[in-house]
Amino acid sequence: MKQSRRVHPAGHRPRPRWRRYIAWALATIFVPVLVGVLIKIAEKPLEGEKSALSTLPPGSRPPHVSISPSPAPSVSLTPSAGPPVLIDLARVEPPGPDDGGSMVAADAIDFSHSELAELHSLPDRSRKQADWLRQHGAVDGGSVKIKIVVRGNADRGVDIVGMEAEKSCSAPLRGTMFYDPSAGEVENVPIGFDLDAPTSRAEGEVEGEWRGDYFSEKTVKLAKGESITFQVAASTRRSYCEFSLSMETLSEGKLATHMIDDHGSPFRVSAMTDENFSSYKALYLGGAAIPNDAYPKEWTKSDPKVY
């Protein structure tokens, strides 16, 4: 039986058989090579991971890597409770109408005529006059008065259980004395601090004198939003003292300490000499200290050696 021959369309030339043999041989050689190269490329990341793991210390565990998104940080919508009390006011007070208004400075001060005129333009023993002298270096003499307004800030209330002066004292100032003694009975203050005592805790006023521990005998309770005003005086007869007040509160079984100062600076007071002014470098007399009942009662410079 004769084998039929493939009939090609007109104009078509059959591809030589030897070319087909060459194409088959090339495919047989290069396809396995290409597959091997692709496998090597795919294995390289795994080899890197194995290399990194091989550098871990013996016995250590590889880190866990999570591809899940990290949760968003939680945000609390509840406002913070804040401190159990708020200090709404802490202010050094001017002397009262019957209190002594004496003040002391560290250095010798010689006011010019214009400075004295400015001082005399201010009301006598007023806050403005006292602040003016403080701005020129003077501090309260003998005793300093402080008004403190405290407001409760705890939902379940708060108790004020103690108050103490944290002080730093040294030799009294002996620069300039602004001497303006009391013209009558000195106003009593409910809470006092003896800065000459080893521990200066708040004392209560009893028959014109400070005695005991004010807060050991009386606990001040404040509801939230309720306020109380403390009239405080701190005194020294021996030293120059800078101090802040440490107030202790109790709320929901927790004790807290609150510092009270003069707008970021300590309160200041200096002892004065009782009789002899010769230890001062300069002296100004005011009020009842001006001799011969001279008026108006303007500050008058005097010689501390002979007064």
Decide if pLDDT at 302 tops 70: yes
Instruction: Compare 306 and 96 and report the one with higher pLDDT.
Output: 306
Low-confidence winner among 3-7, 203-207, 212-216 (lowest mean pLDDT): 3-7
* pTM, two decimal places: 0.70
Query: Quick one: pLDDT at residue 74?
Result: 38
Residue count (the chain) = 307
Q: Give the per-residue pLDDT at 141.
A: 93
Q: Which residue has the higher pLDDT, 101 or 264?
A: 264
E-strand ranges in the chain read 85-92, 103-105, 138-141, 143-152, 158-170, 176-179, 191-194, 200-201, 203-206, 209-211, 220-222, 227-235, 240-251, 254-260, 267-270, 282-285, 300-302
Q: What is the pLDDT of residues 175-197, one digit of tens each?
A: 999 998 876 555 556 899 999 99
